[in-house]
Structure 1
């Protein structure tokens, strides 16, 4: 049996209109101290995002997600974020911005990078479906 490594992760949420508190998951950040891994990944579904706010600046959203990736790599230019744990803590801290972290969660894995891919598929990418889309009704 392989050694299992503990990890923590947060889901990154896009909250286009903070006052409405509606969000779409757009990324995951995973931290595994024992493997010296702090990685992030993201995937955007513009249709879902623009359904929440047609005026959402997708270019700015992508820039914010690239900044998270830079923080993970230690390239954000912040001298107070030299350790991976400090960088993960900064990313996971609650904030009222368009990109917000969800709650911290943990797990065990033998491969942190593969686990990031699994979490992205499970939490961010649209669920595969063999059924035709259901009709949606909106009540006002």
Structure 2
């Protein structure tokens, strides 16, 4: 059976502002009391700190981290197996030999503990949990404008983009401003909605907000006649598909019977706009032609 040994660990924190207490983890020290072994891993670059704290002094941080690593190397060399006269120590005690407790921006966390058969693997696991897991840049989530951009390009190709204008629909209770609209007896209004959000609740809330907007404008029956059309972007996280489908159902049941197109239906959506605009123009031309002939 593989021998397992107890270890303790402490996390090195970069505290940017002692008043707010905001910090980012930048390193880990692991200590095995039975053998006196000290292992550590620290951030070697400024990483995501610049994004979290834009005013961080990069040179000062790099110098400080270099000094901590050098001091930890010295502590690791000097530690050894405990004897009868050695006080029981934990990782935080060992780490403070390299970086004493003071009011600087680098601080040690209280010690944690565990049991492992592979101390090196344990160090990597703890580092990944507390430090490197936050290194991935935040994933770009598409905005409403991102969803509209390919629509605009296709409308421009068909010389139709200029036909759409901003329109404010005034109701008895509320108003809604649509950036893309045109009139053919009633107003046709088009709204891009990105549901590429972080969680299911956010997706449903956004759909419910639009349900509320439309209901507030339609309430009282004083609003101009208008037909809503939504083109929607799906979440990239497949775990949010159910919430997305619920959001579509909420939109489809909103007042004025909105038409909802998914971004995969982009060509159909643009073709619908084109057909309606061309039919309107043809009807107007026919009326003008008939009027001139009757004269």
- TM normalised by structure 1 equals 0.72
CA shift for structure 1 position 107: 1.0
CA spacing shift, 1:37–1:66, aligned 2, 3 Å: farther
SS of match in other structure, 1:54: coil
Larger RCO: 1 or 2 (CA < 8 Å, sep 6+): 1
Larger radius of gyration: 2
The structure-2 alpha-carbon separation of the partners of 1:62 and 1:28, relative to structure 1 and needing over 3 Å to count, comes to same
1:49-96: CA deviation from partner (whole Å, max 9, x where unpaired): 234432211222222222222222217xxxxxx546564343576432
Which 5+ residue runs of structure 2 have no aligned equivalent? 81-88, 142-196, 199-295
Residues 48 and 99 (structure 1), Cα distance of their counterparts in 2 relative to 1, 3 Å cut: same
Consecutive aligned runs of 4 or more in structure 1 exceeding 6 Å deviation: none
Structure whose residues are more often helix by fraction: 2
Change (3 A) 1:39 1:66: farther
Aligned residues: 129
After superposition, residues 88-127 of structure 1 pair within 5 angstroms as 88-91=95-98, 94-126=101-133
Task: Give, in angstroms, the shift of residue 23 of structure 1.
Answer: 0.6
Between the aligned partners of 1:90 and 1:96, the Cα distance in structure 2 is 15
How far the C-alpha of 1:110 sits from its partner, in A, is 1.4
Equivalent positions of 1:1-140 (< 5 A) are 1-43=1-43, 46=46, 48-74=48-74, 82-83=78-79, 87-91=94-98, 94-126=101-133
SS at match of 1:70: helix
Deviation by residue 1:25-69 (Cα, 9 ceiling, x = unmatched): 111111113233212212367464234432211222222222222
Structure 1 regions of 5+ residues with no counterpart?
A: 76-81, 136-140
**Given the two structures, how large is their TM-score scaled by the length of structure 2?**
0.38
The 2-side partners of 1:106 and 1:52 are apart by 29
